[in-house]
Chains A and B, each alone.
Chain A
Amino acid sequence: MVNRSEVDWNGANRSGVAVSWSRHGEADCIRLAGLAGPAGLASCAQEVRIHPATAVALRTAPPMAGRLLRDGPDTCFLPRFPFLDGTAYIVTVDGAVVAELTRARADEAATTEVLAIHPSAATVPRNLLRCYVWFSAPMSEGQAAAHVRLVDDAGEVLAGALLATEHELWDAGRRRLTVLLDPARIKRGLAPHREAGYPLRSGAPFRLVVDDGFRDARGRRQRVGAERRYQVAGDERRHVDPQAWTLRVPRAGTADPLEVGFDRPLDHGLVARCLRVVGPEGRPVDGVADVGAEERSWRLVPRHGWAAGPYRLVVDPVLEDLAGNSVGRVFDRELARPTDDPRGAGPVAVMFHPG
């Protein structure tokens, strides 16, 4: 595509035009020195073209958007969209190639890594719906499908286990990735479930693997890959039931924590936002809440001492377990089972009195 014999790779060429990366004010630009005559600028607007090198083969691709400015004896091309690191650009004057310039790629050491993979439970139900991966720095989008996978103990990828989607689910800071297992294979009765079965098998351990090719927002690889291994139990198809939880109630007058033990691991993302404690006057209790090991417990250390109560632990009905069953509904409820029936859309409260 580019006739390299025309180009002097030190920046000048037979046409006598020297082309280089430069700056114009605050902006990056491509600087052309030695273009013909002062009258040249007006015609330059017609004649100087910049294309990404890969677009030259398309022949009729539009030139890169931008404008030409006179800077002393030189002409500068200021792009409307910044040059991209690692991209090669072809500069033509009157249709003839005068230079190919490659934008340097910042060669920074890889420092980003996976901080945590959830669930943190060692055992998950066969109908596990969702995992979360926390990274130490903001990440690039469009990487998850290629760099996150489930594998068995032999290292074989569990094909089609994860939901294939162009819509990656990130938090606003691009540090937490939500990974869904294919719900079509989990929901009973659907063709994918009948044809391909569950993504996981009871009794067959698997690992969630994040490889070191997952690029962060600066385009760097991970410092090291990460993985978490899980055992697989049977199915979980019951509502999340706050009445089945155990409460360790603090004594009145103390600032001891309220400790709540769940009957099964709950969803990492939801458990952190779906619980709160409301005091005797209906005001939320101020304090520091944290989630325990394996997302099996939650505790609240109040800022001030407990009164005699009554207090209410208020649970948002969207709170889910690892299989997508919530307080309000079972993930794929069986219509013929009355115990599966949806339970109201309002919050559920568990009353307690500090002793």
Chain B
Amino acid sequence: MTEYGLRVGRAELGSAGPITFGPAGILFLADNAAATVFAVDVNDPGRPAGAGPFELADVDGRVGSLLGGDAADIAIRDLAVHPDSGNIYLSVQRGHGEQAQAVLVRIDRADASISDVPLTDVPVAAVTIADAPAPDDERVDVILPLGDEGEQITVGSRTIRILRRPIRTSTITDMAYVDGALLVAGLSNEEFSSKLRRIPFPFTDGAGAAGNNLEIFHVSHGKWETAAPIRTFVPYDGGRAILASYTCTPVVHFPLAELAPGTKTVGRTVAELGAMNQPLDMVSFVQGGEEYLLVANTSHGLIKIARRDIDAQAPLTEPTEPVGVPRETADLQGITRLANLDGEHVLALQTDPEGRRHLRSLKSASL
């Protein structure tokens, strides 16, 4: 793993965020509390751990059981599938508030056994996600810590302990690895901007480590242009293109090759999700030799878009229905996360009407 700059150490996760696999089975984990992305060798057995569909009911209750909490104490923030073994990794926040802990969980595809993945004494590298436009922002929130965190200061005759934390933060909403770079989409807690970071991997030291910021605009109906934060995205066409969805919901395509720092990129809108609907996750899969993209969203079932339709799609200039047909069958409702399980199945995290969460496999051929 030294070839990727990983050294034995500890990935001290302050919060559970998006995860995605990179080269050689290295898992990237976003920690929004620490504004850091870790690259960890998860020491997966690496052998194909099973084939065929994978189903696990009540995944939140089962993970909660291992971690000593109820299903309501478990937030599954993301899922990823190991590219060689097919084992399933979950980014889990366990507990709330002061008791909250970020845990990486592995589910064995062969026998559905659940274990927590060690993040101490493992090969690890880290990069800080700095907010490039304001490195001189000195504002901090000063609070009296509850434990022994922070620093001790003396004011007059009194000595107190204080904790300084930055006020401006950036929340990573999605990540993907393409050709030697980690792409990171984020949401600022202050300005409304559309920054997609491209961080070279192996991570390098210094200013370059924060990656270059790419701003992608989108235009609605040929009249209004906005730079909005990207919420979720997926590389497709062998990593040559990106399908992204913004917080303001249009699904937009742009070629990766066109992205260069300092140049303006305008994404081409290929679909709109409609009112009161938010994008949640995307995945690309192959059916009958053709590539398709699936978009999970809050209001409809899955939306399926054919790559050839994206390639042929002129920018949306008039109100229109989403390209592709939303998969509205009842059993595809409530899907919040998607990942490729293997060439024939897409793995989905689904919340049922009672609020219980299940892992299930969707057969690519029937989507």
A186: chain B residues within 8 A (beta carbon)? 248
Q: Tell me if A61 and B73 are in contact (CB < 8 A).
A: no
Q: Tell me if B61 and A55 are in contact (CB < 8 A).
A: yes
Q: Tell me if A81 and B103 are in contact (CB < 8 A).
A: yes
Give the A-B pair count, Cβ closer than 8 A: 238
Q: Tell me if A331 and B137 are in contact (CB < 8 A).
A: no
Q: Tell me if A173 and B58 are in contact (CB < 8 A).
A: no
Q: Tell me if A219 and B96 are in contact (CB < 8 A).
A: yes
A50: chain B residues within 8 A (beta carbon)? 68
A165 on the B face (CB < 8 A): yes
Helix, strand, loop or mixed for chain A's interface? loop
B247: chain A residues within 8 A (beta carbon)? 163, 165, 180, 183-184
B101 on the A face (CB < 8 A): yes
State A85–B221 Cα separation when bound (angstroms).
Answer: 53
Residues A218 and B67 in contact in the complex (CB < 8 Å), given A176-B141, A189-B220: no
Interface residues of B in 122-148 (CB under 8 A from A): 133-134, 137, 139, 141, 143, 146
Q: How large is the interface on A (under 10, 10 to 19, 20 to 34, 35 or more residues)?
A: 35 or more
Q: Tell me if A172 and B274 are in contact (CB < 8 A).
A: no
Q: Tell me if B220 and A87 are in contact (CB < 8 A).
A: no
Known: A140-B96, A196-B275. 20 other contacts (CB 8 A): A61-B62, A81-B116, A82-B99, A84-B69, A84-B70, A87-B68, A137-B143, A140-B97, A141-B96, A163-B247, A169-B169, A171-B189, A183-B248, A184-B275, A190-B272, A191-B275, A218-B97, A318-B193, A320-B192, A332-B220
User: A residues within 8 Å of B by Cβ?
Assistant: 50-52, 54-55, 58, 60-66, 79-85, 87, 89, 129-130, 137-142, 159-160, 163-173, 175-176, 178, 180, 182-192, 194-196, 215-219, 267, 269-270, 272-274, 316, 318, 320, 324, 326, 329, 331-336
User: B residues within 8 Å of A by Cβ?
Assistant: 33, 35, 58, 61-62, 64-71, 73, 75, 77, 93-101, 103, 113-116, 133-134, 137, 139, 141, 143, 146, 163, 165-169, 171, 173, 187-193, 219-228, 231, 247-250, 272-278, 280, 298, 319
Which 4 residue pairs of A and B lie closest in terms of their CB atoms, listed nearest first?
A189-B220, A55-B65, A172-B165, A61-B65
26 residue pairs of the A-B complex, CB under 8 angstroms, read: A52-B68, A54-B71, A62-B65, A65-B115, A66-B68, A79-B68, A81-B101, A84-B68, A87-B70, A139-B97, A141-B97, A141-B100, A142-B75, A159-B276, A167-B171, A171-B168, A182-B248, A183-B248, A184-B248, A184-B249, A192-B275, A215-B96, A269-B190, A318-B134, A318-B193, A329-B227
